[in-house]
Amino acid sequence: MSRGRYWIIAAIIAVGAAYGWLFLQKAESQAVEEHPREREISQGDLAIVGGGQGSSSEIFDSGSELSPTTHSNRIAASGVNLRFEKTLLRGGKISYDQTIRILQGDHFDSYMQDVLWQSVRDLDAAHLTELYARKFETAFTNDPSIFIEDFACGLSICVGEITTYGVQGEQEYSRFHKALSLADDTPAYSMIELPIGEDRDVTEHRFVFATDPFINGIGDRAVY
């Protein structure tokens, strides 16, 4: 069984754990009044940013209309963002400055553990994580040159890291982008990627993308 397959089994177990945690918290949660999330609708085009040290960032306009409401963006519209998501958003867009700072950080692994912990404690976030993780696993077809290192979603934002080995892994990485098609049930409406170690045989592709159609632009330093 590949490492990627172990990862997806862990994600499914996490969903089950989230069910148990929510059951134990039911009495407390019923006493808390939830307020709908106020979202600023971005007027920018759909954007993907790719960049790293020594390379310029690029934004690509997909030229496509927003896809119909899917399972993922219905989840995004249903509740308040998780704590980690709030730190990544500025004015209804993904913050370029904050996101790059996190992706470049020496403690990214520890950061991902915190994101995973927040995700499994929210049933909707755990389901969204499983939905996207399964899609990536299918796309990678157990190829040993590429696997999901870490991955988790909130209600509107997903964060993760995919490791590739050699030329084959880099070629297979294009499957990751294809899996995020707006025409499918696992869309990404804006995205920032940062490759770490491009000069070596092993590359860590760290990324943040939005599953909410209203978060369809990049803020801060991104130039339209």
**Rounded Cα gap, residues 1 and 202, in angstroms:** 21
Query: What is the model's pLDDT at position 3?
Result: 53
**Rounded Cα gap, residues 198 and 191, in angstroms:** 19
**Rounded Cα gap, residues 62 and 44, in angstroms:** 11
Query: What is the model's pLDDT at position 161?
Result: 98
Query: What is the model's pLDDT at position 139?
Result: 94
108 domain residue, yes or no: yes
Containing structural domain, residue 32: 3-219
Q: How far is CA 167 from CA 191, 202, 205, in A?
A: 23, 10, 14
Write out pLDDT tens, residues 110-157.
Answer: 999 999 999 999 999 999 999 999 999 999 988 999 999 999 999 999
Query: What is the model's pLDDT at position 198?
Result: 72
Instruction: Look at the chain and report how many structural domains it folds into.
Output: 1
Do residues 215 and 189 make contact, with C-beta atoms less than 8 angstroms apart? yes
27 domain residue, yes or no: yes
Residues 6+ apart with CB under 8 A from 183: 67
Instruction: Please list the ranges in the chain whose pLDDT falls under 70.
Output: 1-79, 221-224
Name the 3-class secondary structure at 62.
coil
**Rounded Cα gap, residues 112 and 163, in angstroms:** 15
DSSP output for 110-157? HHHHHHHHHHHTSHHHHHHHHHHHHHHHHHHTT-TTEEEEEEEE-SSE
224 domain residue, yes or no: no
Beta strands per DSSP E along 8-99: 47-50, 58-59, 89-90, 93-95
DSSP-derived letter for residue 40 is: P
Query: What is the model's pLDDT at position 221?
Result: 65
190 domain residue, yes or no: yes
117 domain residue, yes or no: yes
Query: What is the model's pLDDT at position 78?
Result: 52
Amino acid at position 101, single letter: R
In what order do the strands lie in the sheet containing 89-90? Answer: 89-90, 93-95, 218-219
